[in-house]
């Protein structure tokens, strides 16, 4: 692991860092006291994530279990079976490559252009701060919330999502939330979705809220889904973007990308692989399953350590071809494969294009890790362009 990434993980989420270090001593599939089964191998990871009968997101150990404690049984029903398929099918066309490109341009395009302009004018730009506002803008657009031109409300949206996600810290040994966490989460969710009722009533068919209304979802369930989206799409996207920017710089491979812009998709893929902003995925064991000759019992939990599984392929390398064993495990696998994958890739691409459009290298002037976060990321990552020759 490169030293900046190591520091980011250690300072942001020390428990995760310790788990990743410790996992170097475990095998592909290891039973760890108090945690459950740890999976570190990409092929096994995909096997678990694709076995929907054996492993579920909805029971203890899965993220769906936490959401159902916050938003009730109706919400729990959305994480599995036919209801899950119904929601995904209804939302699919909002998340295609084309829709993602349009969404990112509409919600963020002007801001990438402004960022590139500031760099050209010789200013130093804080990429990490920009990703927070950009993520807030994206979610606001998806949800049909009108928050005006200023950055502050979007930053607030981001920090609410971040605070909500941070409540999940310490849930790795149990996803049963204590009452005070449920109360705190409900308060944050209420603030996050303050404008949802109005938007729900008026939103068009081309928005998530409009689709929820068409599907006959109650306002409460819609608020739950809106909150889920605000959390799923913000921290991960911001982390993946700023860490890819730093990785390109720190590994000395920015020059390669500048000389060969056709490597852009590789740079984005490698950044997301190495950073793996969703570093682990939890599942509840729904029935006895034998994996690699080991019996995993109903009621146990599995932690798929995606960060480890993705990083075993090697260090960040923009010339690395697609790794077949990993596919795109940083976005998960199976029925819950990240719905926002195209959006996430587009955002990283647009940021890298904004930073490299002059053909001149950028340099990281200063950086600071975010602390006490679920998803390790930069709190600030200041970059400026090298002077023209
Ligand atoms: C680099 C950025 C991102 C990463 C690494 C990432 C990663 C993931 C992963 C690993 C999952 C699967 C979780 C599991 O199986 O338990 C997931 C699910 C999901 N993601 Fe993302 N995500 C990112 C960005 C986004 C964005 C930008 C959005 C929305 C605009 C989004 C929306 C979702 C949704 C709705 C799900 C749930 C899908 C389902 O359960 O069917 N994600 N994401």
- Sole residue written with tokens 């950009």: 134
Q: How confident is the model at residue 182 (pLDDT cuts 50, 70, 90)?
A: confident
The CATH H-level superfamily of 37-313+320-359 is: Cytochrome P450 (1.10.630.10)
Contacts of 78 (CB under 8 A, 6+ apart): 64, 84, 87, 221, 225
Q: How confident is the model at residue 63 (pLDDT cuts 50, 70, 90)?
A: confident
For residue 99, give the nearest of 352, 349, 343, 341 by alpha carbon: 343
DSSP 8-state class, residue 176? P
List beta partners, residue 381. 367
136 within ligand 1 shell (Cβ under 6 A): no
- Give the Cα-Cα-Cα angle 110, 114, 120 (nearest 5 degrees): 145
Q: How confident is the model at residue 386 (pLDDT cuts 50, 70, 90)?
A: confident
Let me know if 322 is exposed, middle or buried by CB neighbors in 10 A (0-12, 13-18, 19+).
Answer: exposed
| Per-residue pLDDT, 90 | 87
In ligand 1, which atom is closest to the CA atom of 334? 15
| Per-residue pLDDT, 60 | 79
Which region among 57-71, 94-108, 228-242, 361-375 has the lowest average model confidence (pLDDT)?
57-71
Question: Which of 74-88, 161-175, 271-285 is modeled with the greatest confidence?
Answer: 271-285
363 alpha carbon – ligand 1 mean position (Å): 30
**Mutation test residue for ligand 1: of 68, 80, 334, 340, the one with most atoms within 8 Å of CB:** 340
- Sole residue written with tokens 């149990």: 174
231 alpha carbon – ligand 1 mean position (Å): 9
**Mutation test residue for ligand 1: of 134, 157, 227, 236, the one with most atoms within 8 Å of CB:** 236
44 alpha carbon – ligand 1 mean position (Å): 20
Report d(CA 204, CA 188) in Å as an integer.
26
Domain ranges, ordered by start, for the chain: 37-313+320-359
What is the β-pairing status of strands 289-291 and 294-296? Answer: antiparallel
Q: How confident is the model at residue 170 (pLDDT cuts 50, 70, 90)?
A: low
Given a contact cutoff of 8 angstroms between Cβ atoms, the answer to whether 219 and 243 are in contact is: no
In ligand 1, which atom is closest to the CA atom of 91? 35
**Mutation test residue for ligand 1: of 338, 346, 352, the one with most atoms within 8 Å of CB:** 338
**pLDDT tens across 334-351, in order?**
999 999 999 999 999 999
**pLDDT tens across 9-41, in order?**
999 999 999 999 999 999 999 999 989 999 999
Q: How confident is the model at residue 70 (pLDDT cuts 50, 70, 90)?
A: confident
In ligand 1, which atom is closest to the CA atom of 281? 16
Structure tokens at 300: 């146990």
- Sole residue written with tokens 């109005």: 198
For residue 266, give the nearest of 209, 323, 331, 187 by alpha carbon: 323
User: Residues 345-367: what's their mean pLDDT?
Assistant: 97
Q: How confident is the model at residue 123 (pLDDT cuts 50, 70, 90)?
A: very high
| Per-residue pLDDT, 171 | 64
332 alpha carbon – ligand 1 mean position (Å): 8
| Per-residue pLDDT, 62 | 74
pLDDT(71) > 90 = no
Structure tokens at 102: 């349009």
- For the chain, the average pLDDT equals 92
User: Residues 51-71: what's their mean pLDDT?
Assistant: 84
281 within ligand 1 shell (Cβ under 6 A): yes
């Amino acid at each position: 692991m490169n030293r900046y990434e190591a520091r980011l993980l250690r300072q942001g989420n020390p428990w995760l860092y310790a788990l990743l270090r410790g996992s170097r001593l475990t095998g592909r599939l290891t039973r760890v006291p108090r945690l459950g089964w740890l999976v570190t191998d990409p092929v096994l990871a995909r096997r678990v994530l694709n076995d929907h009968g054996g492993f579920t997101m909805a029971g203890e150990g899965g993220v769906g279990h936490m959401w159902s404690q916050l938003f009730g049984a109706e919400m729990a029903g959305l994480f599995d079976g036919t209801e899950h398929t119904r929601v995904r099918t209804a939302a699919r066309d909002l998340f295609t490559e084309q829709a993602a490109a349009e969404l990112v341009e509409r919600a963020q395009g002007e801001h990438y252009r402004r960022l590139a302009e500031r760099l050209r004018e010789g200013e130093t730009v804080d990429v990490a701060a920009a990703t927070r506002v950009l993520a807030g803008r994206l979610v606001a657009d998806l949800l049909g919330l009108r928050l005006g031109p200023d950055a502050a409300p979007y930053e607030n949206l981001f920090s609410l999502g971040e605070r909500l996600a941070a409540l999940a810290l310490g849930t790795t040994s149990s996803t049963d939330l204590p009452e005070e966490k449920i109360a705190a989460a409900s308060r944050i969710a209420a603030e996050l979705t303050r404008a949802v009722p109005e938007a729900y009533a008026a939103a068009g068919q081309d928005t998530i809220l409009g689709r929820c209304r068409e599907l006959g979802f109650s306002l409460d369930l819609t608020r739950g889904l809106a909150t889920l989206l605000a959390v799923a799409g913000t921290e991960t996207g911001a982390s993946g973007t700023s860490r890819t920017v730093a990785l390109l710089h720190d590994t000395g491979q920015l020059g390669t990308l500048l000389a060969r812009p056709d490597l852009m998709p590789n740079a984005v893929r490698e950044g997301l692989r190495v950073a793996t902003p969703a570093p682990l995925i939890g599942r509840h064991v729904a029935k006895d399953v034998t994996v690699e000759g080991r019996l995993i019992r109903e009621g146990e939990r599995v932690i798929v350590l995606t960060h480890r599984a993705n990083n075993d392929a090697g260090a960040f390398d923009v010339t690395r071809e697609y790794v077949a064993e990993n596919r795109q495990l940083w976005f998960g696998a199976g029925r819950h494969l990240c719905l926002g994958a195209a959006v996430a890739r587009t955002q990283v691409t647009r940021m890298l294009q904004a930073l490299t459009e002059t053909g001149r290298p950028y340099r990281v002037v200063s950086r600071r890790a975010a602390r006490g976060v679920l998803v390790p990321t930069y709190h600030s990552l200041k970059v400026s362009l090298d002077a023209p020759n």
